[in-house]
Structure 1
Amino acid sequence: MTVPIVMDIEASGFGAGSYPIEVGFSRRHGEGWCTLIRPEEDWEHWDESAAQVHKIPRETLVERGRPVANVAVTLNLILAGHTVYTDGWAHDYVWLARLFDAADLQPGFRLADFREIISPKQEELWHQTKRQVEIDLNVGRHRASNDARILQLTWLRTYDACRLLH
């Protein structure tokens, strides 16, 4: 098994009308990529409790976010033909679809649920390992690429631990 590419998407909230505000991923060798997404004109939903988690004001997205078409094209260029995993598939799939729909493009990669590649043995070790990865990385900012890297390293450490047990 090769190290999976892992993606995380931050959003304006979890309810109907929410949209992606940041996307990030960690590639197979740990190279990260992350960008803010400028909201489309009709993307008005904003959940203050979600904003408290990601600490990104909507004004920052409007001023510094990249246009959806730019983000979608960049994702397709970097991730073309790959399967990319996420731990929040139900939400991330919807937000990624919203991004690509707004850009009038199709993803050139497959977004898959992390559970497809996590064994029951890995699952047993997951939460404890993830806490240790978070301590080891000592990431100060809640960012999509940081979250993706934490998930990727958690997968790798649990995978290696399970191999050693056999």
Structure 2
Amino acid sequence: MLLKPAGSWSLEAWDKGCEAKHKLGLEMLLKEGKAPLDACLVLNAALGQSDVFAGAPETDALWLFKLYRAAQVEPNFRLHPLPEAELGDIQRAEEGVSRLRDAAQVAQTG
């Protein structure tokens, strides 16, 4: 799900390095992204009262806090860190997905 930046968020801190890494431009997010309230409602409906595990819980918690504060709602779910053994598996999977995306982009551009 693409997220439209909340009106209260400063765009001065927009990181061009992160934009390049994730291949998501600010213009795309502004045009196609979901508003924070809509995104939070989708997350709450999908996750319910679940325990959610994250590989970078400090970073994820920070962004979730900002998102839910902008939407003025509370998350239904609880965020927890992943056990170390699983974290390595997830990082390898993310690297594989990144390589697949890069290959797909090369294939599309010729």
TM, length-normalised to structure 1: 0.53
Q: Aligned to 1:85, what secondary structure does the other structure show?
A: strand
Name the structure 2 match of 1:96: 64
Distance 1:50 1:83, change over 3 A: same
Match of 1:107 in 2: 75
Does residue 40 (structure 1) correspond to residue 6 (structure 2)? The answer is: yes
CA 1:53/1:81 → structure 2, altered by over 3 Å: closer, same or farther?
Answer: same
Deviation at residue 105 of structure 1 after TM alignment? 0.5
After superposition, the Cα gap between the structure-2 partners of 1:51 and 1:133, relative to the gap in structure 1 and judged at 3 Å, is closer
* Aligned CA distance change for structure 1 residues 65 and 136 (closer, same or farther; 3 Å): closer
RMSD between superposed Cα atoms in Å: 2.6
How does the TM-score come out when normalised to structure 2?
Answer: 0.78
Count of residue pairs brought into register by the alignment: 100
Q: Secondary structure in 1 aligned to 2:79?
A: strand
Taking every aligned residue pair, what percent have the same amino acid on both sides? Answer: 28
Q: Give 2:75's aligned amino acid.
A: P
8 Å Cα contact 2:51/2:78 also seen in 1: yes
The C-alpha deviation readout for 1:92-128, integer Å capped at 9, x for no partner, is: 101001100111000000011113xx4xxx37x936x
Q: Unmatched 5+ residue regions in structure 1?
A: 1-34, 142-166
CA shift at 1:133, angstroms?
7.6
What residue is the counterpart of 1:60 in the other structure? Answer: 28
Structure 1 position 41, deviation (Å): 1.7
Equivalent position SS for 2:7:
coil
- Do residues 85 (structure 1) and 53 (structure 2) align? yes
Q: Which residue of 2 aligns with 1:139?
A: 100
Structure ranking higher in strand proportion: 1
1:51–1:109 CA distance, 2 compared to 1 (3 A): same
Q: Residue 56 of structure 2 contacts residue 81 of structure 2 at CA under 8 Å; is this kept in 1?
A: yes
**What 5-or-longer segments of structure 2 have no aligned partner?**
103-110
Per the alignment, do residues 135 and 67 of structure 1 end up closer, same or farther by CA in structure 2, a change over 3 Å counting? Answer: closer
